[in-house]
Amino acid sequence: MIRSEILREIAPILNPHLVVCNIGLPSQELHMIDDNERNFYMLGTMGLSSSIGLGLALAQDKTVISIDGDGSVLTNLGTLPTIANNVANNYILLIIDNGSYGSTGDQPTYAGKKTKLENVATACGCENVVVCQDVDTGAALQAAIDSKQMTIIVSKCDSGNIKLPVITKDPVVIRDRFMTAVAS
């Protein structure tokens, strides 16, 4: 499976929850599959999906799922110790690990070579690190939500992209409707 197929499969599980979605194709795909006010789309700032999600989870009680990529986590590797040391049990970091920088043309990442992000997360002190195959992502995500324990999921999948348009919504509109959903 490629990332867009995983997103299509897990969209009903994500739907009731607050989602912070990574820059580029992941946000465009989620926007196409299930646009709703509980989704925060990153239009820029590669690497910070996990940080934004953690800040949001620490600030309020609703479940927050950050959708990130292996390339983006490598960009902001310092996020993993911060997550490990500031436990928010309403927080799930879902790393869709396709071993490539999908939005920029599928250049390989180091996570697609020798580096194992699940081992990095564990070494950083993250206590619930789950590795799954693409087809099992939905089950792993639902289990993490039900566990009410902060969880890092690394979902291994194929690289590959679908063609789809950029998000043209105004960033302040995205942010405002998201904050209304957070506060509701």
Partner 1 sequence: MSISKKIVDDFVANDVSFITTVPCKQLAGVIDEVEARPEIFHIPSNKEDEGMGLCAGAFMGGKRPAIIMQNTAIGVTINTLATLTQYYRMPLPMLISYRGELREPVACQVEMAVHTKALLAQMNIPTYHFHKESDADELDAILKYTFMCNKPVAILTDASFWGGYGDQ
The reply to whether 94 sits near partner 1 by the rule CB under 8 A is no
Strands 151-156 and 91-97: parallel
Tell me how many residues contact partner 1 (CB under 8 A): 35
Tokens of 6: 């995983």
Query: Exactly one of 57, 94, 152, 167 binds partner 1 (CB under 8 A); which one?
Result: 57
**Token representation of residue 72:** 């983006």
Q: Of 61 and 146, which CB lies nearer to partner 1 in the complex structure?
A: 61
Decide if residue 54 touches partner 1 (CB under 8 A): yes
Measured from the CB atom, the residue of 45 and 122 that comes closer to partner 1 is 45
How many CB atoms lie under 10 A from the CB of residue 74? 16
Cα 146 to its chain centre, rounded Å, is: 17
Q: Are 50 and 68 in contact (CB under 8 A)?
A: yes
Summarize as ranges the residues that interact with partner 1 (CB under 8 A): 20, 40, 42-45, 47-60, 64, 76, 78-79, 81-82, 86, 171-172, 174-175, 178-179, 182-183
